[in-house]
Amino acid sequence: MNQNTDLLTLRSVSKAYGTVPVLHDIDLSIRDGEFLTVLGPSGSGKTTVLRLIGGLEPLTSGEIRLDGEDISRMPINRRPFNTVFQDYALFPHMTVSGNVGYGLSVRHLKRTEIARRVGEALDLVQLGLFAERFPSQLSGGQRQRVALARALICQPRLILLDEPLAALDLELRRQMQEFLKSIQREIKTTFLFVTHDQEEAIGMADRICVMQAGHIRQLGTPHELYYKPNCEFVARFFGENNLVAGKLGPVQGEQRPIETALGRLVCSIGGQPHLKAAPDGASAFAAFRPEALHLADATDSGNRFSGTIADLAFAGSSTVATIAAGADNASQRLRLRMPSRIGGSVLKSGETVSLSFAPHEGHLVLA
């Protein structure tokens, strides 16, 4: 269970349905014991990745290696992976313990052994009292946990989860996120979790793989994706962001300016050689998070611009301002997020203010 060794490797995997390609040359390594989330909008090919790994679909080209061995053609029932399906796919004619024990009983284990392990698995998912119920007698969250117990009882090398929380309501989804994460830590099994919900991804994943239109756009920790998105798609898709288009200026050490409608904005390029290598005048975006934007004071020398507060929305712990900036304070819409205060916001709708963000909180994304 060393997180530095690769469990599963996808090498230039492609998939097409008929003549319609859905995955283009995917390369992906899944580390042993990690919680990897594949995140993408619908139609990005994320579920296809999961189905190819699980053996539910054949690949069109490329190969999948488990511990270095090609398993692309291994039939589904021999792969040491188990899937938690989106609609749970519980067997309606079997009890909870029948469902959970299914994977063991098709392997002809002894009854006493099956009963013991079913008991353990049900305890793990806190459903010990529901063993003799039928799936139709359970709530959504309980079915979810049965599906999880059924998958993990076979002690698979990898558990594949296909948007398992999509059908649950918000509160239950939050609980299940924590629950899944804690189970994963406890059984130390690799989880591959597919979702379109970026909050879900941030909350649970060790690493996130962002997909779009059949390509992997970026693979990294939630922190890397949030603060160092490598393309416009990730910058826009992953969390709320302000993107201001412009042309790159000459490199200044670990920073680089960009000429935009808001004037010259200086952003950090630390640790990202491709941003250093981009030619002067190349099209790019300055990207900064709403919480990085703040009212300028005397100490803010650079990255200053003015804007008009178009809208002010109280969102509980924070207050979000929509700001019109740029030419005539209209061409560019920005968002600013600041902690809410009991005395009301210092901002007023319609007011024109001076704004700024620190260069180290700004980031560049090539267009």
Partner 1 sequence: MSGAGSTDSAERLLSRLVTMLAFALPVIFVLVPLAIFLVYSFFSVDQGTIVHVPTLGNYARFFTDPIFLPVFWNTIVLCVSVAVICILLAYPAAYFLTTLKGRWRYALLMLLLVPLLMSYVIKIYAIRSILGLNGFLNKALVALGILDQPSTLFVFNMNAILLTLSLLLIPFAILPIFLSLERIPQTLLRASDDLGASGLQTFLRITLPLSMPGVASAASFVFVLAIGDFLTPQMVGGISGFTFGRILYSQFGTAYNWPFGAALSVALAIVVIAAILVGERFGRSRGTSV
Residue among 31, 85, 115, 361 that touches partner 1 (CB under 8 A): 85
Closest approach of partner 1 to the CB of residue 93, in Å: 5
Residue 93 is a binding residue for partner 1 (CB under 8 A): yes
Kindly state whether residue 88 participates in binding partner 1, applying the rule CB under 8 A.
Answer: yes
Total residues in contact with partner 1, by rule CB under 8 A: 28
* Contacting residue, 37, 47, 48, 82, with partner 1 by CB under 8 A: 82
The 325-344 contact track toward partner 1, x by CB under 8 A, reads --------------------
Which segments of the chain does DSSP mark as H helices, in order? Answer: 46-54, 96-105, 111-124, 140-152, 170-187, 198-204, 222-227, 232-237, 273-277
**Closer CB to partner 1, 36 or 151, in the complex:** 151
Q: Give the neighbor-by-neighbor strand order of the sheet with 61-66.
A: 20-31, 6-17, 61-66, 69-70
Q: Which of 46, 117, 145, 150 binds partner 1 (CB under 8 A)?
A: 150
8 A C-beta contact, residue 275 and residue 287: no
- Establish if 54 lies at the interface with partner 1 (CB under 8 A): yes
Give CA–CA dist 129/209, Å, rounded: 37
User: 16 - beta bridge partners?
Assistant: 21
Tokens of 252: 């200044």
Closest distance of CB 156 from partner 1, Å: 10
Is residue 56 part of the contact set for partner 1 (CB under 8 A)?
yes
Q: Which contiguous run of DSSP H or E holds residue 31? A: strand 20-31
Give the interface segment with partner 1, choosing from 16-24, 53-61, 235-243, 294-302 (CB under 8 A): 53-61
Q: Distance between CA atoms of 73 and 60, rounded to whole angstroms? A: 11
By CB under 8 A, tell whether 18 contacts partner 1: no
Name which of 50 and 293 has its Cβ closer to partner 1: 50
For tokens 């305890």, the residue is 123
Q: Which two tokens stand for residue 116?
A: 């013991």
CA dihedral 279, 282, 285, 287 (to 10 degrees): 10
Select from 18, 68, 92, 250 the one that contacts partner 1 (CB under 8 A): 92
Determine contact, residues 236/242, Cβ cutoff 8 Å. Answer: no
CA 138, CA 124: separation in Å to the nearest integer? 17
Segment contacting partner 1 (CB under 8 A): 10-18, 89-97, 118-126, 192-200?
89-97
Residue 90 binds partner 1, judged by CB under 8 A: yes
CB atoms within 10 A of CB 187: 14
193 belongs to the binding site for partner 1 (CB under 8 A):
no
Q: How far is the CB of 258 from partner 1 (least distance, A)?
A: 49
Contact 360, 285 (CB under 8 A): no
Nearer to partner 1, 99 or 177 (CB): 99
Closer to partner 1 by Cβ: residue 49 or 275:
49
Judged by CB under 8 A, the stretch of 112-120, 146-154, 250-258, 307-315 that binds partner 1 is 146-154
Using the rule CB under 8 A, give the single segment among 74-82, 122-130, 207-215, 319-327 that binds partner 1: 74-82
For partner 1, the binding residues in 94-113 under the rule CB under 8 A are 102-103, 106-107
Query: Which of 17, 27, 58, 76 touches partner 1 by CB under 8 A?
Result: 76
Of the listed pieces 34-42, 85-93, 186-194, 324-332, which binds partner 1 according to CB under 8 A?
Answer: 85-93
Q: How far is the CB of 55 from partner 1 (least distance, A)?
A: 8
Conformation bin of residue 263: beta by default, left when phi > 0, alpha when psi is -120 to 50: left
Looking at 5, 61, 126, 137, which residue binds partner 1 (CB under 8 A)?
Answer: 137
Rounded Cα–Cα distance for residues 244 and 362 (Å): 11
* 159 phi and psi angles, rounded to 5 deg: -110, 125
Residue 52: phi, psi to the nearest 5?
-70, -45
Burial class (CB in 10 A: 0-12, 13-18, 19+), 104: buried
Q: Which residues in this chain contact partner 1 in the complex, by CB under 8 A? A: 54-56, 76-78, 81-83, 85, 87-93, 102-103, 106-107, 134-137, 150-151, 154
